[in-house]
Amino acid sequence: MFLRNAWYVAAWDHEVTRTLQPVQILGDHIVLYRTNAGAPVALEDACPHRKLPLSMGRIKGDEIECGYHGLVFNSAGRCTRIPGATKIPRALCVRNYPVMSRYGLVWIWMGEASQAHASPILEIEHWNDPAWDKNRGGTMTVDCNYLYVTDNLLDPTHVAWVHCSSFASEACEEEPIDVAASADGVVASRWMCDVEVAPFYRQFVTFEGRCDRLQRYEVRFPSHAVIKAVFVPAGTGGRDKPLDEKALVMDSYNFMTPIDENRTKYFWFQMRNRFAGDESVSKAMDDGVREAFAEDQVVLAAVHRGFANKVTRNFDLAIDRAPLLFRRRMAELIEAEHPKPVEAAR
């Protein structure tokens, strides 16, 4: 089950072109393309006649011609031509999904179209701040249900074992986690004081010696993670303290789009408050993050298989509070989209 009334990332902007591109999102088969004027379009990828995917047809101007019998559909999903027929039934159409370009990504609304514009897309802080920069980011498919990814991104402890050579330092094993519910998600965070700078971050930190480090892992509904990493000189960090001027701040944006119940498309990039315009830093971040996420990819696929095939019960631990809280609230939101029929009066 998925939350339908939400914006998901369908693709990077540059992936949506004048070529028909089939994608699967929340189990739905969708065709993406761009109009001549540059607007992204998302339509149900099945001709209503014989259900051939429209992505196997051709773009004709701003319309798609089915590759089986030449029916044509416009960008709103309405049929505009049936070869050999003079009348086009009103009901002959494919579903049109609201889409929007923002932050270099094409976002898609998977629910009730009339509700799309009342729901804003998540805001990316510092997007237009010249003192900040971003790296290119990446995409991967993880062979697991998206909730295993949200579990992972609400779990700052896993870096100690999954990312030993990059994101981990000795404090990552023991320091307790604070968990909080926000209006639009769940936050798991902790300050680790007077610790080593973890290997991946050493190349980006501009001060010497040990550090205070914040891990702030937030997942917002439906499945967008904002992971804030802060490194400041040891002794200057901590909750509610102003940020030291030497602080390295890296905000990792992670957008998970369920392909179906067993696969998740994962889009990401990072924003940083240092080395604006330095391409070599962007590349180092891209390379390091991709390597670390590949470690998660292996673990999460195996966890999915482990749960699918479990023969004994699993135990939850204290570190699972944030992931479980997120799952519970997500289940409530999904249930609210499917109101139970009112029992007939006796």
Residues with Cβ < 8 Å from 170, sequence gap 6 or more?
Answer: 195, 196
Minimum Å gap between C-beta 225 and Fe ion is: 10
Question: What is the rounded distance in angstroms from the CA atom of residue 205 to the CA atom of residue 226?
Answer: 20
Minimum Å gap between C-beta 64 and Fe ion is: 39
- E strand or H helix at 322: helix 321-336
What is the distance of C-alpha 252 from the center of its chain?
Answer: 11
The Cα-based distances of 332 to 121, 152, 189, 338 in angstroms read 21, 20, 23, 10
Question: What is the rounded distance in angstroms from the CA atom of residue 290 to the CA atom of residue 107?
Answer: 22
Q: Which CB sits closer to Fe ion, 167 or 231?
A: 167
Q: Which CB sits closer to Fe ion, 34 or 190?
A: 190
Q: Which CB sits closer to Fe ion, 180 or 294?
A: 294
Q: Which CB sits closer to Fe ion, 63 or 296?
A: 296
**H helices, E strands: number in the chain:** 5, 19
Question: What is the rounded distance in angstroms from the CA atom of residue 229 to the CA atom of residue 85?
Answer: 61
Residues 292-321 binding Fe ion (CB under 5 A) are: 296
The Cα-based distances of 242 to 186, 193, 239, 247, 321 in angstroms read 23, 15, 9, 10, 28
Minimum Å gap between C-beta 294 and Fe ion is: 10
Minimum Å gap between C-beta 227 and Fe ion is: 9
Q: Which CB sits closer to Fe ion, 4 or 190?
A: 190
Q: Which CB sits closer to Fe ion, 33 or 217?
A: 217
- C-alpha angle 26-29-34 in degrees, rounded to nearest 5: 110
Residues 278-297 binding Fe ion (CB under 5 A) are: 296
Minimum Å gap between C-beta 41 and Fe ion is: 34
Report which DSSP code applies to 311: S
Minimum Å gap between C-beta 33 and Fe ion is: 34
Minimum Å gap between C-beta 300 and Fe ion is: 9
Nearest residue to Fe ion on Cβ basis: 296
Q: Tokens 């049929």 label which residue?
A: 79
Question: What is the rounded distance in angstroms from the CA atom of residue 168 to the CA atom of residue 171?
Answer: 8
- C-alpha angle 122-128-131 in degrees, rounded to nearest 5: 125
Q: Which CB sits closer to Fe ion, 64 or 162?
A: 162
- Count of residues of this chain found to bind Fe ion when the rule CB under 5 A is applied: 1
The pair of structure tokens assigned to 258 is 């369920």
Question: What is the rounded distance in angstroms from the CA atom of residue 290 to the CA atom of residue 91?
Answer: 46
Q: Which CB sits closer to Fe ion, 65 or 296?
A: 296
Minimum Å gap between C-beta 192 and Fe ion is: 16
- Residue 151 within binding range of Fe ion, rule CB under 5 A: no
Residues with Cβ < 8 Å from 317, sequence gap 6 or more?
Answer: none
Residue 128, Cβ neighbours under 10 Å: how many?
A: 6
Q: Which residues bind Fe ion (CB under 5 A)?
A: 296
